Every structure is written in C-alpha cells, then in structure tokens.
Amino acid sequence: YMKVQKIDIGNNQYRYLLLDSEFNVIEPVKRYLKFLDNTDRAESTLKNYAYHLKTYFEYLNEIGLSYDEISSEGNNPIEILGNFVSWLENPTIINEKISYLSPPESKRSNQTINLIMTPVLGFYEFLARGNELPELDVYKKQRMNPQFKSFLHELIPNSNLIRKNILHRKTEQKEVQAITRDQYNQLLEHCYMIRDKALIAVLFEGGLRLSEALGLFIEDIEPFNNKIKVQPRENLENGAKVKNKAKGELYVPPYVMKYITDYIVEELVDVDTNFLFVNLRGKNKGKPMQSITVQKLFNRLSRKIGFNVHPHMCRHGHGTELAESGWDLVEIKDRLRHTNVQSTTVYTHLLDEHKKKKINELHEKKGILNESK
C-alpha cells in the first residue's frame, strides 16, 4: 500500500510526501508538491493533492503502468486517464470479467472526481514544462461567458477564452453557504468578549478568510481611515497565511473599527504581541489565535443560536450582500481578492436574481405609467 507521509517543518506547519509500497519517496511527486509549496499553495491544498495523487498512483499499480508510461508507444494517455475517471466513479470497472445486473452506485461524485483530476493533470503539466514527459493534449479552449470579461479584455489576445480539460465532468453548482445579516447580528449578540465581536465583524464586513484575519497585526489597522491592510507574511507562529499572497486594503464600517479599537484598549492592552487576535485566557494566553480555536468558538455560538455556522460562511455572507446590492463579478472579485474571476462565479445566480428584480421593477414602473395615460 502507498502512504502519504506528514512532515513537521515547525511553527505548526506540515508538508507531505508520497511513499510507495516499500516506503520510498516518489521523487517526481515530491518535486511537484515542492513546486506548489514554492508558489504559496495552502497547506490544505498540498495535503489534498498528495492524497489525490496517491489515488492515481494506486490506479496505475492496478493496471500495471508507471506514471511515465502512459504516453509511451502503444498507450493512449487520453484513454488511460479516461479509464481512471471511470474507475474513480466505480473502482470495480477495472475488472472486465465481472458483469452486473444493475450498475453499482457511484463511489465518488463528479465534483470529487474533478477535484482529483486537477492535481493529476497538474502533475503531468509540471513534468511536461520541465521537458521530462510529452505534453498531454487534454485541454480545449472555450469562450468565456461575456459577463466575465474584464475592462481591457479586447486588448488581450484570446482574453475571452479559458482552458478546460476534456475529462472535466459536469457538476451542478452548489448553493453558497452564507449567513444573512440577521444571522450575523445573532452571532454578535451571543459573543461575551469584544475580541470575538471584532473577529466576526472583520470576517463578515471585510470578507476576509479566517487565516487572513488571524494573520493580522495591530499595525495593519488604521482606525481613523476605517481601513485594514491585508499583508502576506511568512512562517507566522499560528500558521496563518494570506491565500495566494493577495495583499489588499479593505474599508470597513465605523462600528467594526470601534469593535477593534475597544478590543485593543480594553482586552489587549496588557498583552505584549504584534498579533491582533490572540488568546485571552488559559495556558496559551497572549499567543495568536489558531483556526481550531475559532472553530470551537463558532461551534459554541452555533449551539446558542440554533443553526450551524462556520467562519467561511461570513465571507460568503459578505460576497452575497455585494451581489445582491448590484456589484458585478469583477468588482466582487477585487473586493474578495480572488486570483481568478472564475472563483467569483459562485455568486452568479445572485447577480441574475438582482437583474431579474431590477427588470421587474422597471416593468412595474412602465405599467404604472401606461395606466396613468
């Protein structure tokens, strides 16, 4: 059996290696994961990619091929990868001697299959760009939805085309898990400490990711401008990171800044730290908060308010309000600091609902005018 080995690199940070059945490191996977690490991929991404590649290498073992043989003479890489996709859906399909009266249920959803294929194809692209293996012809270009075009898209060749792999399976877009403003207010009402109100307010009104909020320093706060600076920093004690090093400046409502300043003056005043959000009790008092601590806070608040909520739902709540207020995808992308506008498309249906509402309002207005004639 293959194994994913977890490596402790200090500061509560971990990296991952893929080992074969004899516990030898699979070098090309190691180099690929190292490349991803160097390009500042999140630790959770590195972990997931290691496990997804483990699944792929186990499949290769079952069919008797090594990773570098799928393009060799007599082999069709598209066919092999296509069979892998089918195997992910139904692992028994590899045994052609077995027939079924009724097809077995799918082991994995299309969404999960797509997630697994991303690092597999990325692994081969990494090797191809290093001239180690031939490039796989698995991508096609398709036209981007016109509403996703940037302001200067006409000046960039093929700017309205996006690359998509031909093995990608269709998935239904999941509804965004977001809290409403009323639910957000309920969370605030059940916070005992100003720190917790300040943290939740930053997540909801600023749209920050949890790791970004936990990486804030006191110096990142500009009270008189109601501004928060998001600064990428390396090797923080609590492992907090800014995703994709997406630095930025966010303006928040004055009441959020008041939460922050009250917290600093009343609860943080005697703590010697650069971090904004720290533990205020227990053996870890004064140390920066970690995500597990915040998740426990949200678990307690969920029990009090009667519905389950996790930190990222605050960020989605912010994005939802922006969409419902009429912001377009590019504006929301910039506010949330997404690297690619495709990440912002989860709010597309909300934009459509906003457009429908506005056109209905226009039709109602026209109807009233017509009746008055």
> If you write DSSP's letter for every residue of 332-370 in order, what string do you get?
HHHHHT-SSGGGGGGGHHHHHHHHHHHHHHHHHHHHHHH
**Degrees, nearest 5: CA angle 157-351-212:** 80
Tens of pLDDT, residues 158-180: 444 456 777 877 776 667 789 99
User: Fold identical between 3-165 and 181-333?
Assistant: no
Whether the pLDDT of residue 150 is over 70: the answer is: no
Widest distance between CA atoms in the chain? 86
d(CA 188, CA 305): 10
Residue 315: is it exposed, middle or buried by C-beta count within 10 angstroms (0-12/13-18/19+)? buried
Residue 275 has pLDDT above 80, yes or no: yes
Name which residue leads in pLDDT, 151 or 199.
199
Beta strands in the chain (DSSP E): 3-10, 13-19, 139-143, 161-165, 221-222, 227-230, 248-251
Give the model's pLDDT for residue 108.
Answer: 85
| Spatial separation of the C-alpha atoms in residues 338 and 335, rounded to whole Å | 8
Mean of pLDDT over the chain: 85
Select from 161, 170, 125 the least CA-distant residue to 143: 161
Contacts of 182 (CB under 8 A, 6+ apart): none
- Residue 237's contacts (CB-CB under 8 Å, 6 or more residues apart) are 11, 12, 275, 287, 288
List phi, psi (to 5°) of 149. -65, 140
pLDDT band at 290 (very low <50, low <70, confident <90, very high): very high
Degrees (nearest 5) of the Cα angle 197, 202, 208?
A: 140
Q: Which residues contact 289 (CB under 8 A, 6 or more apart)?
A: 199, 214, 238, 275, 277, 278, 279
Q: Which residues have CB under 8 Å from 142's CB, separation 6+?
A: 161, 162, 164
What average pLDDT score do residues 38-49 get? Answer: 87
Structure tokens at 28: 């090309």
Q: How far is CA 36 from CA 113, 123, 126, 156, in A?
A: 20, 10, 10, 27
Give CA separation, 202 vs 19, 56, 176, 361, in Å: 41, 40, 19, 33
Decide if 354 contacts 324 (C-beta within 8 A).
yes
Helix/strand/coil for 8: strand
- pLDDT, tens digit, 9 for 90 and up, residues 52-81: 999 999 999 999 999 999 988 888 989 999
pLDDT score recorded for residue 222: 96
Q: Tell me the whole-structure pTM to 2 decimals.
A: 0.68
Domain boundary assignment for the chain: 3-165, 181-333
Cα–Cα distance, 58 to 204 (Å, whole number)? 42
- With 50 as the cut, is the pLDDT of residue 97 above it? no
pLDDT at 351 over 50: yes
Under CATH, to which class is 181-333 assigned? mainly alpha
Q: Which CATH number fits domain 3-165: 3.40.50.720, 3.40.228.10, 1.10.150.130, 3.40.50.300?
A: 1.10.150.130
For strands 139-143 and 227-230, give the pairing.
unpaired
Which position has the higher pLDDT, 197 or 369?
197
- Go through the chain and tell me how many residues it has: 373
